[in-house]
Structure 1
């Protein structure tokens, strides 16, 4: 196996970086996206106030520490256990959205990574059309009698929030498309067996999210990376979701474990949501208007049960995240209790 060539970046220089090579910077880059310099006709990469230029290299990918590569890392995923179809599609408004289809679920993912599309899915993909929905969020299409889309009713609350503190003040960004919050820029894409969202907050907290399905388990794998240029303090990630069925928006939500809740909807339709991660806790809040402040969500003790139009909040208290560091966790939505 041939060693990968690594070169050192110097302020004001234009190193000859070829595809497959790596480049080491004195500090973390401000961004991995090259900034086109019209005068020099090169891509500029900056760390702090210093800069070097690369010819024909539009983007770099973090390898480790402050070393970057010209090619994206290959992530080997385990073989899919469920037959999955994924695709992106363009809405009438010209926005790119995505869906994931199995023999049990239709998942619709909006352009900014939350469950629930703003546009109708392509023809032939099952949605809750009997009740007027050509869009989708979480539709169990193989139930008898037919189960309604568990998210599309009412205000259609589903999304996520990234928050931290600067000098004691809260800085937070929300992505909950169908409730009107679009503060985390990025885009969705379709992989062979998953829907992926890659984006970043205005402060450059990068979010890499992958939604996949195994049987009746929906996994949301999240990676946060600190590209802000400063240590992140009291970092939190929150996923909020309001499960409902038509005609009765009073779902019984119960905390069954420290990081897991059970939602019993109308017709005794049951979904579990949560995480095994020890940093995760469960809170409940009124769904409309949605509560998007993770610091305002109180962790509830196991056994807490409430009936009402509430959303379930899975909150990850991550603490401090160093410059350039990443953290990963998984949220699972479990539909095993729903007969098919």
Structure 2
């Protein structure tokens, strides 16, 4: 019969005389949708999808099919795992779509031509290892050919590269198969699983970098001992429902280097004859011959940092080796105006000498183990800007006694107005008339000789028509505050006075520090965002506060900027203790695990109603910034 192919629903279907396959969007076998009209599927068991289906005397002729779809009976396991080591870490990414693993994105294309049906899939791992795969099916073949090219498109070598292809063959009436290691090593890696007495499924490669195995079920680790390092011997046999694997050990791929592997899988009625056909028709697959070594190319680097700061980098990131050899680095000469911590993998930390600005440099040697090259790293240290001192209102503990306090204790009705800056408006219950404040600012406070009436005791005093009753719940003196609709209780100062501020200043849902030693806590598990608010612009001592369980989702908001000596956006505490400003109080900060937090980062500012909010969070927190403040 003529070769057939079709593309539908981002999947490709290939069918020859004896074999048919469905390829999903991840480049692995097993379609998720029904085969297009005219292509065979395992209708005997009600399947319209296709994994791998075989009719060994030809589709539509001779006897009925004796085999079910080899892949889709039971749990469908087919796909690949790719592993490599770079930057001191090991990475493994898996595509076994029908088993739930889909970690390498790619694009599938029907590339069939006359006489050969084929599909190409191209993708890339997160560390920039490109994967180019082509699955081919000849008309008269009882196997498919899979060619895979791996190309390192990153700037660093990838070591101990592994490629693992896995397949679990099953039938509807039994999942256990008779599995056998037919050959290993220079004879080629061949593993078979007999679906019945005479028809085996097989995985095969004549690449001597391949190891055949069968073990486990959903195998996703190409570094597992059974996959490669402890190869099962030729002749090893067991009857079990286990997954068959071919694992390729591909060594090191330098930046820009590539390697290609070829493997075969299929269903046959004569394994020996089919393997002989593959070897004669397809030819042996061997790794490329070694070439004469070239010296690496070490490229000069440049980095910038601010005065009194550090910078990290990797000098090998842009270096190249024509042979694809892994490179190591050795410090050749150190910097004159700073210190450098240097590692063999090329990573470094440079710290400028205190107060130094200008240009510094150091040099290193790149080696591929046989030859070397030298490069220079230039550091540009930017002088710190001259930052004017932050002006903070003077701190007082008796807020009715600070300079500029506006006193409204006359029995006459008065119109009161404060000066520019943080003001206190003091009222004595016994001798206050019906007064009015015409310019009550966001950093001003009201000071009373006793607490205002708070019916629900929530600390918020709602004003009716901008008016608060000083003598409530009794009738008596009234105070109108232009532009203010509610007050918030800030605590009792050292003189025993009750202190209030404009309620609109507090962010919505925030836990606010008062004129006392407060203890706050985030939630266990850091499942929600907690905001802790410190109104430092009031110029009042907010006490020695503690925040427990401060997590990555939580925020601290102040109304003056916390001290940041080198202006790098990182505020460092003293043993977990952070100063709010001279005399403004402090925060003892403890993380989710109970340990003291050593530093926090500045996330930016929010300006609302002439109030500037400075927002901070844990260093390295993501998904949290100044925009999370609500009002």
Normalized against structure 1, the TM-score is what? 0.70
Q: Is the 8 A contact 1:205 1:227 kept in 2?
A: yes
Could you tell me how far 1:267 is from its partner in structure 2? 5.1
Higher strand share: 1
In the other structure, the counterpart of 2:203 is 273
Q: 1:264: Cα distance to partner? A: 0.5
Residue 147 of structure 2 corresponds to which residue in structure 1? 221
Cα deviations across residues 131-178 of structure 1 (Å, max 9, x unaligned)?
111000110145534121111111100000110123553201101110
- Of 218, 221, 230, the residue aligned with 1:293 is 221
Is 1:313 the counterpart of 2:237 in the alignment?
Answer: no
Q: Check if 1:122 corresponds to 2:46.
A: no
Task: Report the Cα distance in structure 2 between the residues aligned to 1:282 and 1:86, rounded to whole angstroms.
Answer: 30
Q: What is the match of residue 182 of structure 2?
A: 256
Q: Which of the residues 188, 192, 199 maps onto 2:108?
A: 188
The within-5 A match list for 1:162-173 is 162-173=82-93
**1:149 aligned counterpart, secondary structure:** coil
Task: State the Cα deviation string for residues 107-134 of structure 1 (Å, max 9, x = none).
Answer: 1001011010111111221100121110
Q: CA deviation at 1:292?
A: 0.4
Q: Alpha carbons of 1:105 and 1:248: their partners in 2 closer, same or farther (altered >3 Å)?
A: same
Shift of 1:234: 0.4
Stretch deviating more after TM superposition (135-144 or 156-165): 135-144
**DSSP 3-state at the match of 2:232:** coil
Residues 246 and 338 (structure 1), Cα distance of their counterparts in 2 relative to 1, 3 Å cut: farther
Aligned pair count reads: 251
- Name which of 269, 279, 287 aligns with 1:337: 269
The answer to whether the Cα contact below 8 Å between 1:230 and 1:323 also exists between their aligned partners in 2 is: yes
Determine the C-alpha separation between the residues in 1 that align with 2:100 and 2:168: 15
By how many angstroms is 1:274 displaced?
1.5
1:324 and 2:256 equivalent?
yes
- The structure whose RCO (Cα within 8 Å, separation 6+) is larger is 1
Q: In the TM superposition, what whole-angstrom CA distance separates every residue of 1:39-82 from its partner, at most 9, and x where no partner exists?
A: xxxxxxxxxxxxxxxxxxxxxxxxxxxxxxxxxxxxxxxxxxx9
Which residues of 2 match residues 90-105 of structure 1 at below 5 A? Answer: 90=9, 96-105=10-19
| CA shift for structure 1 position 231 | 0.5
CA contact (8 A) 2:181 2:191 kept: yes
8 Å contact kept, 2:15–2:137 = no
CA distance in 1, matches of 2:108, 2:231: 31
Shift of 1:318: 0.3
Cα distance in 1 for residues equivalent to 2:40 and 2:52: 11
Rounded to whole Å, the distance in 1 between the matches of 2:192 and 2:111 is 30
Q: Structure 1, residues 78-125: CA drift from partner, whole Å, max 9, x if none?
A: xxxx942222101xxxxx111101121111001011010111111221
Q: Is the 8 A contact 1:244 1:266 kept in 2?
A: no
TM-score, scaled relative to structure 2: 0.39
Report the CA distance between 1:273 and its aligned residue.
1.2
Shift of 1:272: 2.1
Secondary structure of the 1:319 match is coil
The answer for the alignment partner of 1:210 in structure 2 is: 134
Unaligned regions of 5+ residues in structure 2, if any? 58-62, 272-631
Unaligned runs of 5+ in 1: 1-81, 91-95
Structure-to-structure mapping, 1:13-52, within 5 angstroms: none
Q: Would the aligned equivalents of 2:199 and 2:268 in 1 still touch at CA under 8 Å? A: no
Q: 1:285 to 1:160 in 2, by over 3 A?
A: same
Provide Cα deviations, 1:187-237, integer angstroms capped at 9, x if missing partner.
Answer: 211012201111111111111111112321310111111112210100000
Distance 1:173 1:134 in 2: 30
Residue 245 of structure 1: aligned partner: 171
Aligned with 2:21 (options 96, 99, 107): 107
CA distance in 2, matches of 1:223, 1:275: 15
RMSD: 1.7
